[in-house]
Each structure stands twice: as C-alpha cells, then as structure tokens.
Chains A and B, each alone.
Chain A
Amino acid sequence: MSATTSAAAPAAKPRSFQEIILRLQSYWASKGCAVLQPYDMEVGAGTFHPATTLRSLGTTPWAAAYVQPSRRPTDGRYGENPNRLQHYYQYQVLIKPSPPEMQDLYLGSLDAIGIDTSMHDIRFVEDDWESPTLGAWGLGWEVWCDGMEVSQFTYFQQVGGHDCHPVSGELTYGLERLAMYVLGVDHVMDMPFNDPDAPIAMSYGDIFRQTEQEYSRHNFDAADTAKLLRNFEECEAECHALLAQDATDPKTGKRIIMVHPAYDQCIKASHMFNLLDARGVISVTERQAYIGRVRALAKACADAFVQTEAGGWTPDSTEIATETA
C-alpha cells in the first residue's frame, strides 16, 4: 500500500450521498482492500460484521472495506431530527497488520471525498474505543474536521477477550454525518442521495423518511417485548449449542467449527437487546447483565474462531493457547 497525502489537486466535490460512498469504495479498492458487501443481518455498528470482529483475530493478514447499514433503535427520532437516525450507514475499513502509513491512507480518503486538507482543520483527538458487548478495546482517536467528528480511528488491542497479534487498524466513518458536511446539507433528509441532476433525483428523505417513522414507532412502542425476550434467550442458547458441537462434522468427517452461524446468533441477541432497551423494559441493573451475556457469546465465538483455519489454526497446531486477559 502506498500513502497519498497531499495528493494531486483535490478532486471535484461530490454531489450526492452515493457518490461519497462510491468514492470511498474506489479509494480503498485502489489501496488494496477487498471491497466487501454489507453483512446481511441487523447490527448496531460496522464493527459487528464478522469481517471485523472475527477477522481481527489470529495472524492471517486481512484488508477489507465495506458499507454496513447499522441500527440503533434508541436513536430513532421519527425522521425529524436533523442528524439522528435509527438506521444509518457506516463505512468500515479493517487492515491487519495496521500499516505504518495508516494515518496517511486515511487522510488520502478524505481528499478522495473532496475534503481539501489545506483548507480544513483535521485533528486526531484522543478517543479510546471500547465495546463492552464485544469484549473489545483499542486505542486511537476520533478524527475532527473543523470541530466535527468525521471518523473513528482505532488500533485494536483486544477482541472477544483475545489479544490482537498482529494489531488491526480500524476506520469507521459515520457516512450520513460526513456526507452532510461535505455536501453542505443541514438536515439529513434533505441530502441528495443520487445525482441531484438525475431525471429522478431522490433525497435521503425520499428513501428513508417513512421508514424512520415506521421503525421509530415500532422500536419505541410496538415491538413485542415478550417475543424479543424469548428470542434473546433462544439465540443465546443456540449460539452456545452450535459451539458445543464436535469440531468434526459427522457427515463429511471434516473439521468444521460452526463459528459464523454461532456468531450470527450473537449478533441477533445483541439486536434483540437493543430493541428491548429502546422499549424501555430493561432496568439499569439488568442492563449490565444483558451486556455481559452478549459479551459471553462474542467471547465464545472468538475462542472458537481462533481454532479455525481463518483464525490461524493449522492441522499441525494442537490447541492454540487462548490468550485471555
């Protein structure tokens, strides 16, 4: 990978939300990342994508970039708040091992989406990242552009209770906020989604205003809490059950540990918890307990992943010592 700070003349400003996404995609593709597709499940943040959580474990090198639709039920505002949404997009980059020029690569991506660093004030402000649900933490910054947080930049130190060796560099861009800034839009719903000169020009609101209303009502008042609680328990049980199965598949005789299917259940449980939280049925004391249960699932998946080939296991290795801290 090569750095491009103070690249050539800054590209012309993008004109729509999707153009910003497209530019990020082609920028990170040009820097050697595999451009993945979003994970097909409800997640709270791009970090939950197995391409980040699981792939940051073990020694196998990895470089991926992807858009991840993310859901935070408690942030629903019926589409009225200028910058709060219960469904939004994150752009996520994970490179393992983190290259020495990670910061420069990142700054290059700002150039690519039309932020001219010679006119703006870009700052790396301390922000240590911790995900209690994933049992993960890292050190890094929130990146400020003229006083606005435009990205999160983290060097993963631990995921699912495992020390990261080598360390992954992770970037997360809050796409709506970043795009509103670049496009000079004050309300997210007014932001052009496709080319504003297209025959059928659509705004973010044309696409998402109604869904924000529907989901806000659902998340706050209508989601069936009894069902959610039941689902949470079921997902939890299934996650453990899948991981408890023998590593050797009785049908094929191959070593097949079902880490990803188990992790799917962890993701689901986490989303159930978020919905229950939005419904206001989880008390302060219970909250910690639920978070602890999701973390236990994430940890179990991480433990299992490092016993797979993608996680660094080889037929020669017996049990890989699990590094827990």
Chain B
Amino acid sequence: MPDLLIELFSEEIPARMQKRAAEDLKTLLTNALVDAGLTYASAGCFATPRRLALSIDGLLAQSPTTTEERKGPRVDAPEKAIEGFLRGAGVTRDQLEARDEKKGQIYYAKITRPGRPAAEIVAEALETAIRSFPWPKSMRWGTGTLKWVRPLHSILCILSSEEGAEVVPLTVDGISAGNTTRGHRFMGPDAITVHGFDDYQTKLKRAFVMLDGAERAEHIWHDATNQAFALGLEVVEDKGLLAEVSGLVEWPVVLLGSIGEAFLDLPPEVLQTSMKEHQKFFSVRNPKTGRIEKFVTVANRDTADQGATILAGNQKVLSARLSDAKFFWENDLRTVERQGLEGMGAPLGNVTFHNKLGSQADRITRIAALARTIAPIVGADADEADVAARVAKSDLSSEMVYEFPELQGIMGRYYAKRAALSDAVADACRDHYSPLGPSDDVPTAPVTVAVALADKLDTLTGFWAIDEKPTGSKDPFALRRAALGVIRLIVVNGLSASLSDLFGKGFAGADAADLLSFFHDRLKVFLKDQGIRHDVIDACLAMEGNDDLTLLVKRATALSDVLGTDDGANLIQGFKRANNILSKEEEKDGVEYSFGADVKFCETDEERALFAALDAAEAQINPAMAAQDFAAAMQAMASLRAPIDAFFEAVQVNAESEIIRRNRLNLLSRIRTTCLGVADLTRIEG
C-alpha cells in the first residue's frame, strides 16, 4: 500500500487562509480518491506561508475492479436500439446475454470496469482540486489562466512504497509535478529531493522550515513565555495573533524587545492595539503593575547577530508608531480639557448615521431623551443617564479612535475620566455598546444599562420606522444583534418594563406590533439556547403582558421547570383530557361551561377531592400570580395532577343525570380556567 505526498509550493499565502486551505486540500483529495475507489488509512495536512502539504498513508495501489449488470432492450428490438445499448454499455454484441423473461427475451450486458492505478486517479484528483480550489480570493499571474491565491511555482506529488518513490505524472497550466521542493526562502533556498513524508518533513526542518503550524505556534508561545518569565513578566495571551504570526513564518525566531520609556504611560489598550494591529507584536505585561512594558516579535530567520539588527529595526518602527499614538492621545486630552467631552463629540453633527435617520448628533440627542425615560426603570439617576448618553459616543471624533476604531468606548472612558465626569458616566462610555456577541458580559451598572438600552432601542425603532428590517440572511445594520442585546440587558438585570411602551418612546413611526413580534422571534432563539422548548415559549407568549420580557422569561422558565417534573408532565395530560372533553361537549351542546360547579352535586369522593384540590390550588395560585411568583403558581398547578388523574380514573363525566353531567363539565372548566391562567397549556405539545 503506497503513501501519497503532495505539496503545492507558491508565493506567500495569506496567514489567515492557510489552515483552512490545507484542510480543503485534504477534503478535496480524499473525497475524490474515495469516490474513485481508492481507500486509505490516514491523512494529514499542513500549511506554511509558502506551501500546502498533504500526506495520505496506506492508499490502495489501484482501485478495485467493478462489475455492473445492465438491462437492455428485447432481443427482437430494432437494430438501432440494440446498437445504442451496446455503445452506452461499451460492450460488443457477443458479450450480451439473452435471458428469458415474462415479456420475452431480454438482453443483459455485464460491464466490467477494470481497476485503475493510483497514480492515474491521483493525477486527475489533484488537477481538479487545483483548478477548482475554494480560495476566498484568488488571482492570475503572468500570461497564465490558472487561478491560485498567489503565483503557484511547483507541485510535488509522489507515491512511495518499500520499492521507492515515483512521481505522479501531472501537468497543470505548464507546471509539471516532480519530487522536489525548496526550504526557507533565505536560509534553505536550494532544491530538495524527497522520497516520502517523513523524509520530506525531516529535510524541510534541515532547510529551516517547520512544516506543522501547530508546532510553530507551540514553539513561539513556549519561547515567548520563557523569555518573559525570565524577566518576571508575562505575555498577554492572544490566540488569534498567535495563529496569524505562526502563519507568517516558516522558521520562527522569538525576540523580546523594550518599549520606549516615553510611551509606558499610554493606556495599556492603546499600546496593545497599536502593537498588535500594526506590528503583530505580542504585549508583555508586568503582573505586579498590570502595565505593558515589553513586546515580543517573531522573526522568520536566524541571523549571525542573534536577531539584534532585526530587533533594533522593530523597536524603531514601534517608536514611530507609538509616537503617533502618543500624539493622538495628547491631542485628544487637550481637546477634552479645552472643550469637554461633549465638545469633543461636536463634529458628530457632520457625520451622517443614515440618510433617513439623520446625523450621529441627531441620534445622540434621541438616545439621551430615551435614556432619561429609561433611567427610573433601571434605577439610574435620570440626569446622569442623560449626561452619559450625550458623551458616550464623543470618542468617535477622537484622533485615537479614528486611527484605531476598535478602541471606541475604551478611549471614551479615559476621556470621560479626564473630563472629571463620574465613574458611572465613564463606565457607560466604555460599556454601552455591550453586549455585542451572545456570550459577551451584560452590563449591570444602572447608568450604563440605561444608555445601552436607549442606544439599541433607538437603532431598532429607527430602522423599523424607515422599513429597513433584516431579511433572510441580510442584516446590514446588525438589528438582530441589537434586539438580542436588549433582551439580555432586560432579562439579566430583571427589568420590569413594557417593550411596547419603550418602542413608543423611541424613533417615531415604528410599527410596534411588528417590532414586538421580531423581539419574540429573537427571544425564542435566546430561550432555545437555554434549553427551553419552543412550545413552552409559545404557551407563555400567548399570555397577557408578553411585552414584559422579564415576566415572559420567568413564566417560561417556571413552566419549563415544572414540565420537567413527573407531576408537571402528567398534569398536561390531565389538562388536555379535561379540555378535550369540555370542548367536545361544549360544541355538542352549543354552550360554554364556565360557571356554577357546585360540590353539593358531587357523587364520588374523587369529585369532592378535586373540588377541594382546586380550591386549595386557586388559593395559592392567585396570590402567587399576583406576586409574579410563577414557580409557586406552577407548583400549585402541578399539585392538581393526582386529583385530576383520580377523577378521570373513577368518574364518568357524561353521567345520565343532566345535572350531574353539567356539574362535572363545570368542574372541568375550573381546571381549564385555573391552568390557562398560568400559561396557555393548549400550546404544549405531546
């Protein structure tokens, strides 16, 4: 069983695409091989900045021979039909077999497809894979028509076994496959001939290429943390950066450098962002002070001076970058001191938010008014919420955020502190964008919550008013995310508020009912993620007050919990039985049984017990519902399970006496009324 080794050697592949590309190569090839009948034992894929590699072990030397029987025309069919069948099946007339069947003699052909050598199949599969490779962006070069992520230089494709290695013959757009590759661009540029995967990996390492991205990442992290540790410092973890950096080098050399004294007072977020975004440096922190004091850069080569020249160059570039950052920081602080934080945001009047929704400044005015309205609901001081809303987006006009948009909010907090605004306002500047993702922390500080809600509600009501709602997969203004943010802010903080009222105070002209149903859809997604079934949610959405999300979630959670108990699950059956009988009889009689059940008409103990149980349950449910203690209400409701079951066990509802029958139907109606007061149990499935 031979092993297959493929390497596609090109100019530098973008770091962010490498891992996925290696996996795509593996999937494309292995699928094509298996489809052609070539099974294999195992496969592994690798990427470096200049190569994608695939190693497949234990491949069949050739695909198995297959036979297929094909039914043809009748023996006495027209000549043309028979010839057509012969062509299609690829056999001659003497290879046909005639069989007696009900309809007469029928021709059968046995089609044998001989197995094909692995090399032939591999060559086809690889050419197809190269020509149809799913790069996120690809290009042409020179005079060719082939598309690859960057110019493709060589293809290595060999099948190896104990007898040796053979090149798989294959040519794609003038590039012929061979058994050679090259090492590191500078440290090992000469051609290397390889015989198999182990040989390949070993020789590459000798030519200063670490083939495995995971190994490079591991090496970088290990070296970086060791060097930092030796100085009593720690590397700030950043998995995304580590993945990117290990995709920029074939031979990682970790260098630790210093940040100029003049820059150490910049906010750590600024240092970190500037170093990461511009230079792809890791930040190195002093665990005692929390300050970022040094950096780690990863070079792609060894040098005679142990990287001294490289490090000096990097340090110099960093100084220039940080001089810029310091310049922005100092300018911004001067602006804040001179004009206040609201003054810093003045230019937002010239920034269009959306041509139908006015400027950023218009939006801020609306958010401030809304935040003021929301403040009492969240327990925030209305004036403070108003101030916070007015300054929360001022940093969008700062030079620092212009340069580093990802620092929005973070800079706002620093500038608010400099403007001597309260901590609550400063925190709102930083945190009012939250929660962004579904797993982000939800703010709980009242002023922040007020601004965060106002911001999102203004966005939602605004886009609803101008009819720019999300459709299908299109949600260019991230309105689903905004709605989920509102839901989480309300639910996590246990806020009691009518969404419809809040919509009414947002941007004028939004269809509140439609927006509410959009929220309900988002809520279903949110609750489903928490393990609450959709029918449970529907049962609660059908109730009064469904625009109070806290109430809704409490009800749904309690119902979901009670349905998880044995009593709860069985109660649903009892309720449904009662409801079904009742509905049927009501339809038959043309009346609604809703009142007048009297214990004096009871004939059995089970009836009397049910009366007593309903009295007892109602006595608990009503105050519990009034206090919005759904758990207690549901618990009391579930306690009806045993008496209801016993009732149905012993009692025939349709008694001969009309008085007794009606009394029993009215009793069932009490069950219905009591249960439906808690949630619309008719919507529960099963």
A residues contacting B by CB (< 8 A) are: 5-6, 82-83, 97-100, 102-103, 117-126, 128, 138-141, 145-148, 155, 157, 164-167, 169, 181, 186, 283-285
Within the assembled complex, what's the spacing in Å between the Cα atoms of A147 and B11?
19
Q: Is B73 an interface residue (CB 8 A)?
A: no
Identify the closest chain B residue to A117 (Cβ).
Answer: B186
Residue in B143, B186, B323 whose CB lies within 8 Å of A122: B186
Within the assembled complex, what's the spacing in Å between the Cα atoms of A176 and B186?
26
Decide if A97 touches B142 in the complex (CB within 8 Å): yes
A selection of 27 A-B contacts at a CB cut-off of 8 Å is: A5-B189, A82-B320, A103-B11, A118-B186, A119-B309, A119-B310, A120-B310, A121-B313, A122-B186, A125-B12, A126-B12, A126-B15, A128-B137, A146-B312, A146-B313, A147-B281, A147-B314, A147-B317, A148-B316, A148-B317, A155-B140, A155-B150, A157-B140, A166-B143, A167-B140, A167-B143, A284-B352
Chain B contacts with A in 36-52, Cβ cutoff 8 A: 49
Chain B contacts with A in 350-387, Cβ cutoff 8 A: 350-352, 355
- Residues on A with C-beta less than 8 A from B12 are 124-126, 141
- Residues on B with C-beta less than 8 A from A157 are 139-140
- Residues on B with C-beta less than 8 A from A120 are 303, 309-310, 313
Residue in B139, B140, B153, B300 whose CB lies within 8 Å of A121: B300
- Residues on A with C-beta less than 8 A from B318 are 147
Identify the closest chain B residue to A99 (Cβ).
Answer: B142
Please judge, given known A-B contacts A82-B320, A99-B142, whether A146 and B310 are in contact too, CB under 8 Å.
yes
Within the assembled complex, what's the spacing in Å between the Cα atoms of A108 and B629?
78
Query: From residue B50, how far is it (CB to closest CB) to chain A in Å?
Result: 9
Additional A-B contacts beyond A139-B138, A165-B140 (20; CB < 8 A): A6-B189, A82-B320, A83-B320, A97-B141, A99-B142, A100-B142, A117-B186, A118-B303, A119-B303, A119-B309, A120-B310, A121-B310, A138-B139, A139-B137, A139-B139, A146-B314, A155-B150, A155-B151, A166-B142, A285-B355
Within the assembled complex, what's the spacing in Å between the Cα atoms of A121 and B189?
15
Decide if B141 touches A155 in the complex (CB within 8 Å): yes
| Among A99, A125, A145: residue with most chain B CB under 10 A | A125
Residue in A97, A121, A124 whose CB lies within 8 Å of B301: A121
Q: Is B16 an interface residue (CB 8 A)?
A: yes
Q: Is B248 an interface residue (CB 8 A)?
A: yes
Query: From residue A234, how far is it (CB to closest CB) to chain B in Å?
Result: 28
Query: From residue A284, how far is it (CB to closest CB) to chain B in Å?
Result: 6
Identify the closest chain A residue to B257 (Cβ).
Answer: A147
Identify the closest chain A residue to B137 (Cβ).
Answer: A139
Within the assembled complex, what's the spacing in Å between the Cα atoms of A5 and B185?
10
Identify the closest chain B residue to A184 (Cβ).
Answer: B316
Decide if B313 touches A139 in the complex (CB within 8 Å): no
Decide if B153 touches A126 in the complex (CB within 8 Å): no
Interface residues as binary, B276-312 with A (CB distance below 8 Å gives 1, 0 otherwise): 0001010000000000000001011101110001101
Query: From residue A196, how far is it (CB to closest CB) to chain B in Å?
Result: 20
- Residues on A with C-beta less than 8 A from B11 are 103, 124
Decide if A121 touches B143 in the complex (CB within 8 Å): no
Q: What is the total of A-B residue contacts with beta carbons within 8 Å?
A: 103
Q: Is B14 an interface residue (CB 8 A)?
A: yes
Query: From residue B648, how far is it (CB to closest CB) to chain A in Å?
Result: 70
Query: From residue B454, how far is it (CB to closest CB) to chain A in Å?
Result: 24
Please judge, given known A-B contacts A121-B300, A148-B317, whether A167 and B142 are in contact too, CB under 8 Å.
yes
Decide if B305 touches A119 in the complex (CB within 8 Å): yes
Query: From residue B170, how far is it (CB to closest CB) to chain A in Å?
Result: 19
B residues contacting A by CB (< 8 A) are: 11-12, 14-16, 49, 137-143, 149-151, 153, 186, 189, 248-249, 279, 281, 297, 299-301, 303-305, 309-310, 312-314, 316-318, 320, 323, 350-352, 355
Within the assembled complex, what's the spacing in Å between the Cα atoms of A117 and B302?
11
Decide if A139 touches B150 in the complex (CB within 8 Å): yes
Within the assembled complex, what's the spacing in Å between the Cα atoms of A164 and B143?
10
Query: From residue B190, how far is it (CB to closest CB) to chain A in Å?
Result: 10
Within the assembled complex, what's the spacing in Å between the Cα atoms of A260 and B304?
52
Please judge, given known A-B contacts A83-B320, A167-B139, whether A285 and B352 are in contact too, CB under 8 Å.
yes
Decide if B142 touches A98 in the complex (CB within 8 Å): yes
Query: From residue A148, how far is it (CB to closest CB) to chain B in Å?
Result: 4
Query: From residue B75, how far is it (CB to closest CB) to chain A in Å?
Result: 56
- Residues on A with C-beta less than 8 A from B310 are 119-121, 146
- Residues on A with C-beta less than 8 A from B313 are 120-121, 145-148, 181
Decide if A98 touches B317 in the complex (CB within 8 Å): no
Residue in B141, B281, B355 whose CB lies within 8 Å of A167: B141
- Residues on A with C-beta less than 8 A from B16 are 126
Please judge, given known A-B contacts A99-B142, A118-B303, A148-B317, whether A123 and B351 are in contact too, CB under 8 Å.
no
Within the assembled complex, what's the spacing in Å between the Cα atoms of A123 and B11?
11
Identify the closest chain B residue to A95 (Cβ).
Answer: B142
Within the assembled complex, what's the spacing in Å between the Cα atoms of A123 and B299?
9
- Residues on B with C-beta less than 8 A from A124 are 11-12, 49
- Residues on B with C-beta less than 8 A from A126 are 12, 14-16
Decide if B299 touches A121 in the complex (CB within 8 Å): yes
Identify the closest chain B residue to A280 (Cβ).
Answer: B350
Query: From residue B358, how far is it (CB to closest CB) to chain A in Å?
Result: 12
- Residues on B with C-beta less than 8 A from A147 are 279, 281, 297, 313-314, 317-318
Residue in A97, A102, A103 whose CB lies within 8 Å of B143: A97
Query: From residue B271, how far is it (CB to closest CB) to chain A in Å?
Result: 15
- Residues on A with C-beta less than 8 A from B49 are 124
Identify the closest chain B residue to A124 (Cβ).
Answer: B12
- Residues on A with C-beta less than 8 A from B297 are 147
Residue in A100, A138, A146, A155 whose CB lies within 8 Å of B309: A146
Within the assembled complex, what's the spacing in Å between the Cα atoms of A256 and B369?
65
Identify the closest chain A residue to B297 (Cβ).
Answer: A147
Please judge, given known A-B contacts A100-B153, A121-B299, whether A146 and B317 are in contact too, CB under 8 Å.
yes
Query: From residue B187, how far is it (CB to closest CB) to chain A in Å?
Result: 9
- Residues on A with C-beta less than 8 A from B320 are 82-83
Decide if A118 touches B304 in the complex (CB within 8 Å): yes
Within the assembled complex, what's the spacing in Å between the Cα atoms of A251 and B488?
76
- Residues on A with C-beta less than 8 A from B352 are 283-285
- Residues on B with C-beta less than 8 A from A99 are 142
Within the assembled complex, what's the spacing in Å between the Cα atoms of A128 and B11?
14
Identify the closest chain B residue to A5 (Cβ).
Answer: B189
Query: From residue B143, how far is it (CB to closest CB) to chain A in Å?
Result: 4
Query: From residue A199, how far is it (CB to closest CB) to chain B in Å?
Result: 32
Decide if B350 touches A283 in the complex (CB within 8 Å): yes
